[in-house]
C-alpha cells in the first residue's frame, strides 16, 4: 500500500470516533433535557434518517461539484458545525428543536464525508492489497467505536458534554488535516502523471517512480 493510504486510514478511523462521540453526547443532552425516552428515540430516528437521506442525495451532490472540492468542503463544514454546537450549547439546550436540527446536519455531513472517502479508496489501494486494507479499516473502525463509547461516557460524567463536543471538534480538525494530506499527495502524483504523459491510478504512478 502506498503512503497516502495511511493518512486516509487515520481519517477514516477518526471519522468513526467522531461519530461515536458526537451522537453519544447529543443523545445524552436530549435525554437530560427532556427526560423522555420516546423523545430520545425520535432523536435517534431522525439522526439515522438523515444518514439515509445523505446517501440518497450523494449522487446528485457528486454531479454538481468536483470531488476534490467536496472532499475538503464537507469535512470543513462538519468541523465548523461541531465548533458551533460546542460554542452555543448552553443556549441550544433551551431550544431542543435547534439541537435536533444540528444533529441532523451533523449526521448528513458525517455520512457524506464517509462516502467521499470511499470514493478515494480505489485511487489509494491496489487490488492485491484490497483485503488487507479492508481488514485494517474494519478493525480500526470497530475498535475505536468501542473505546470511544467508553471514553465519551467517562468524559461526560467527569467533564461534561461541552468538553466532549470540543473533543469531537478537535478530532475533526485532525481528520481534516489527514484528508488535506491525502488530497495533496494525490494531486502531486496526478501532476507528475500529466507531466509524464500518462494517466494511471495513484498507486501505479508511485510504483513507476519507485
Mind listing the domains of the chain with CATH numbers? 7-209 (1.20.1250.20)
Q: Which of 56-70, 81-95, 168-182, 196-210 has the lowest mean pLDDT?
A: 196-210
pLDDT per residue as tens digits for the range 32-72: 887 778 888 888 898 889 888 988 988 888 888 777 788 88
Question: Is residue 21 a contact partner of residue 106, using CB atoms and an 8 Å limit?
Answer: no
| Angle in degrees, CA 115, 119, 121, rounded to 5 | 115
Instruction: Using alpha carbons, list the distances in angstroms from residue 204 to 36, 39, 74, 86, 117.
Output: 55, 52, 28, 43, 19
Predicted model pTM = 0.85
Percent of the chain with pLDDT over 90: 40
The pLDDT, as a whole number, for residue 121 is: 83
The pLDDT, as a whole number, for residue 157 is: 92
Residue 207 has pLDDT above 50, yes or no: no
Amino acid at each position: 500500500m502506498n503512503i497516502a493510504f495511511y493518512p486516509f486510514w487515520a481519517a477514516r478511523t477518526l471519522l468513526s470516533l467522531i461519530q461515536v462521540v458526537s451522537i453519544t453526547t447529543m443523545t445524552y443532552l436530549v435525554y437530560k433535557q427532556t427526560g423522555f425516552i420516546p423523545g430520545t428515540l425520535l432523536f435517534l430516528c431522525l439522526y439515522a434518517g438523515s444518514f439515509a437521506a445523505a446517501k440518497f442525495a450523494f449522487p446528485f451532490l457528486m454531479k454538481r461539484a468536483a470531488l476534490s472540492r467536496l472532499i475538503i468542503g464537507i469535512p470543513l463544514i462538519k468541523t465548523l458545525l461541531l465548533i458551533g454546537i460546542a460554542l452555543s450549547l448552553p443556549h441550544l439546550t433551551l431550544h431542543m428543536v435547534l439541537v435536533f436540527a444540528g444533529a441532523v446536519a451533523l449526521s448528513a455531513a458525517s455520512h457524506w464525508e464517509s462516502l467521499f472517502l470511499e470514493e478515494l479508496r480505489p485511487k489509494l489501494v491496489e487490488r492485491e492489497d484490497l483485503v488487507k486494507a479492508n481488514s485494517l479499516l474494519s478493525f480500526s473502525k470497530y475498535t475505536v467505536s468501542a473505546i470511544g463509547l467508553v471514553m465519551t461516557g467517562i468524559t461526560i460524567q467527569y467533564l461534561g458534554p461541552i468538553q466532549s463536543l470540543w473533543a469531537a471538534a478537535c478530532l475533526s480538525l485532525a481528520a481534516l488535516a489527514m484528508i488535506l494530506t491525502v488530497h495533496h499527495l494525490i494531486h502531486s502524483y496526478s501532476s507528475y502523471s500529466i507531466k509524464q504523459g500518462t494517466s494511471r491510478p495513484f498507486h501505479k504512478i508511485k510504483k513507476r517512480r519507485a
